[in-house]
Amino acid sequence: MKKWINLFVVLALMVLVISISVVGAPKTWVVGFSQIGAESEWRNANTFSVQHAIGEDPTLLLVFSDAQQKQENQIKALRSFIARKVDCIAFTALVETGYGPVLEEAKRAGIPVIMIDRDVAKEDRHLRLTIMGSDFVEEGKKAANWLADYLKKKGLDDGKKQINIVELQGTVGSAPAIERKKGFEEAMKTHPNWKIVRSQTGNFPRSEGKAVMEAFLKAEKNINVLYAHNDDMAIGAIQAIQEAGLKPGEDIIIIGVDAVKGAFAEIMAGRMNCTVECSPLL
Ligand code: GZL
């Protein structure tokens, strides 16, 4: 008899301990994050920022997906988050358009969507809760305003002689590409002698920036400035300029955006002139 009582007491204590631990444990919120890829130093820093911040919080569990620069992979990942009934979806929009239907599905499922870095198209923004990102238009303006100051300081712009600019755009249809172009061109309006003689997407990676810059150098004999929508393309272009026998940072003024470590190394080496900060620590 005594043995049965002891067993009962032990079992009761076990149930009590388990129930306290379950009841007392804080709820774990599951966050599905769809990242677009690993195309640049900036993107890798951004991925680290999200993974580290969520990893540090014991009440958050991260489900991470890398879309490898394909929108269809992103949409599949978002649908898998919805099917898994995550508590929140976070994602960077590779390009602005094409997310309406999946955002409608998330809304119907009652799952809040937070944009990190790149937003979706205006017509779909009512479907997402908010965005954490930078002002890309302002970054484009800063690049142009820095150039104006630099040319003035160096006595390179008399307001009449044409200043030939080539532009390496980011991913076609992405918010940073659209808005950094817009901001730069808005600031250009006060410099009628500035001309963007070539503008083409390099899609953000270094390799593509280099390839497009090689084409620019073949097509244009007198390039004064390169405006690249990110530092990685600027760094690729610097290699192309050197291989063409020109001095980047001197023969051609080099401007990038992101302020990644690689850009600071090029600036310190005298091969790059400016990078506009865009924090990845979101
Ligand atoms: C900007 C971000 C851009 C970076 C690029 O916030 O979306 O994407 O400028 C990255 O380096 O590829």
- Looking up tokens 């991470």 gives 64
- pLDDT more than 70, % of the chain: 96
Phi, psi of 99 (to 5 degrees): -105, 0
* H or E stretch covering 151: helix 136-153
Question: 149 pLDDT exceeds 70?
Answer: yes
Q: Locate 270 and state its tokens.
A: 């005298």
- Kindly state if the Cβ of 43 falls inside 6 Å of ligand 1: yes
Q: Which atom of ligand 1 is nearest to the CA of 41?
A: 11
Q: Locate 166 and state its tokens.
A: 């080539």
Question: 161 pLDDT exceeds 90?
Answer: yes
80-127 per-position pLDDT tens digit:
999 999 999 999 999 999 999 999 999 999 999 999 999 999 999 999
Residue 118 CA, ligand 1 centroid: distance in Å: 8
Predicted pLDDT of residue 13: 75
Which comes out higher in pLDDT, residue 13 or 155? 155
Predicted pLDDT of residue 6: 82
**pLDDT mean over 180-199:** 98
Which comes out higher in pLDDT, residue 18 or 202? 202
Instruction: Indicate the top mutation candidate among 230, 233, 257 to test ligand 1's pocket, ranked by most ligand atoms within 8 A of CB.
Output: 230
- Kindly state if the Cβ of 206 falls inside 6 Å of ligand 1: no
**pLDDT mean over 52-59:** 96
- Kindly state if the Cβ of 96 falls inside 6 Å of ligand 1: no
Instruction: Indicate the top mutation candidate among 35, 43, 46 to test ligand 1's pocket, ranked by most ligand atoms within 8 A of CB.
Output: 43
Phi, psi of 60 (to 5 degrees): -115, 140
User: pLDDT band at residue 37, thresholds of 50, 70 and 90?
Assistant: very high
**pLDDT mean over 161-178:** 98
**pLDDT mean over 35-52:** 97
* Alpha-carbon span 230 to 41, nearest angstrom: 10
Predicted pLDDT of residue 1: 67
Per the prediction, the chain carries an average pLDDT of 95
User: pLDDT band at residue 17, thresholds of 50, 70 and 90?
Assistant: low
User: pLDDT band at residue 15, thresholds of 50, 70 and 90?
Assistant: confident
Predicted pLDDT of residue 14: 74
Whether the CA torsion 94, 96, 97, 98 is positive or negative: it is positive
Q: Which amino acid is at 273?
A: N
Question: 74 pLDDT exceeds 80?
Answer: yes
Residue whose C-alpha is closest to residue 280's, from 62, 3, 35: 35
Q: Which atom of ligand 1 is nearest to the CA of 231?
A: 11
- Kindly state if the Cβ of 134 falls inside 6 Å of ligand 1: yes
Predicted pLDDT of residue 64: 98
Residue 65 CA, ligand 1 centroid: distance in Å: 18
**Separation in Å, CA 213 to CA 166, 172, 270, 272:** 9, 17, 19, 15
206-265 per-position pLDDT tens digit:
999 999 999 999 999 999 999 999 999 999 999 999 999 999 999 999 999 999 999 999
- Kindly state if the Cβ of 232 falls inside 6 Å of ligand 1: yes
Residue 181 · residue 229 · CB < 8 Å: yes
